[in-house]
């Protein structure tokens, strides 16, 4: 059974810092991995999708990497801003039918 | 297209009542998913549709829950005889379908509170 874990559960940093969020999964037979952002009480906003054949994806200040063999992904946020404060979720698309299996999220707070 | 739309955004109901939620996916998307999220947790898969066919249901989906997607367009999720443990955010997502390389887009969710 696929399990997804995110570390740390919460993170507080001063504005301007670069930071890394971690995601690990137990079964390397995934089709893709997706990072999402969730603001309090809201739905999920897709940030980056990494296909199983890819090693990384970049969008603006965000860079996500994927190492399938070790079951790990990282989300790198450069020059963090208070507006980046949110919960970040990673999810893997399972190899059985396309549903996403989520980690518990990392709650990020960027202080001005 | 404005993305995935869910209605209502909030629902407060008394224990034992039935509730129904609606999801309108992105128009060209074949796949539609329902997830449930409780406070401090990641979303958990409930069920999904490929067009009008319901292809998978989680064991979390008890017999009090039923989902439909008539004509492969919008979907409804009904909970009968609600219990306090049903209180959660119910999220709908859609994707183009096929396996492996399609991005899922989520709606804003329906927050259910059972009192």
Beta bridge partners of residue B110, listed in sequence order:
B90
Task: Give the distance from residue A9's alpha carbon to the nearest chain B alpha carbon, in angstroms.
Answer: 10
φ/ψ region of B16 (left if φ > 0, alpha if ψ in -120 to 50, else beta) reads left
Q: Is the pLDDT of residue A57 over 80?
A: yes
Q: Is the peptide bond before B97 cis (omega within 30 degrees of 0)?
A: no
pLDDT in tens, B24-73: 999 989 999 999 999 999 999 999 999 999 998 998 888 999 999 998 89
Q: Could B93 and A100 be called an inter-chain contact, meaning their C-beta atoms sit closer than 8 Å?
A: yes
pLDDT of residue A98: 76
Distance CA B65, CA B39 (A): 20
From the list A46, A102, A103, the residue facing B103 with the nearest CB is: A46
Torsion of CA B35, B93, B97, A107, to 10 degrees: -80
φ/ψ region of A9 (left if φ > 0, alpha if ψ in -120 to 50, else beta) reads alpha
pLDDT of residue A95: 72
- Residue B102: band (very low, low, confident or very high) from pLDDT cuts 50, 70, 90: confident
From the list A43, A96, A101, the residue facing B108 with the nearest CB is: A43
pLDDT in tens, A100-111: 999 999 999 999
Residues from chain A that touch B102, judged by Cβ atoms under 8 A, are: 98
Task: Give the distance from residue B87's alpha carbon to the nearest chain A alpha carbon, in angstroms.
Answer: 14
Task: Report the residue of chain B nearest A105, measured CA to CA.
Answer: B42
State the burial class of residue B54 (Cβ atoms within 10 Å of its Cβ: 0-12, 13-18, 19+): middle
Interface of B with A (CB under 8 A): 4, 6, 31, 33, 35, 40-45, 48, 55-56, 91, 93, 95, 97, 99-109, 111
Task: Report the residue of chain B nearest A103, measured CA to CA.
Answer: B42
């Amino acid at each position: 059974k696929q399990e997804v874990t995110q570390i740390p559960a919460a993170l507080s940093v001063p504005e301007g810092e670069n930071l890394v969020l971690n995601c690990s999964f137990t079964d390397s037979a995934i089709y893709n991995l997706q990072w999402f952002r969730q603001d309090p009480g809201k739905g999920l906003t897709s940030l980056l999708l990494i296909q199983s054949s890819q090693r990384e994806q970049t969008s603006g200040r965000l860079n996500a990497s994927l190492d399938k063999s070790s079951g790990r992904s990282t989300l790198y946020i450069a020059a963090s801003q208070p507006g980046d404060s949110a919960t970040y979720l990673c999810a893997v698309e399972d190899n059985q039918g396309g549903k996403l299996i989520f980690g518990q999220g990392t709650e990020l707070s960027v202080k001005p | 297209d404005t993305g995935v739309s869910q209605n209502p955004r909030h629902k407060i109901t008394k224990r034992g009542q039935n509730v129904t939620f609606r999801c309108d996916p992105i128009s060209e998307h074949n796949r539609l998913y329902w997830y449930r999220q409780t406070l401090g947790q990641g979303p958990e898969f409930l069920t999904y549709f490929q067009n009008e066919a319901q292809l998978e249901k989680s064991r979390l989906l008890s017999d009090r829950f039923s989902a439909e997607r008539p004509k492969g367009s919008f979907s409804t999720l009904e909970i009968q005889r609600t219990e306090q443990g049903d209180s959660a955010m119910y999220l709908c997502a859609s994707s183009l379908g096929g396996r492996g390389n399609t991005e899922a887009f989520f709606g804003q969710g329906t927050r259910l509170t059972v009192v």
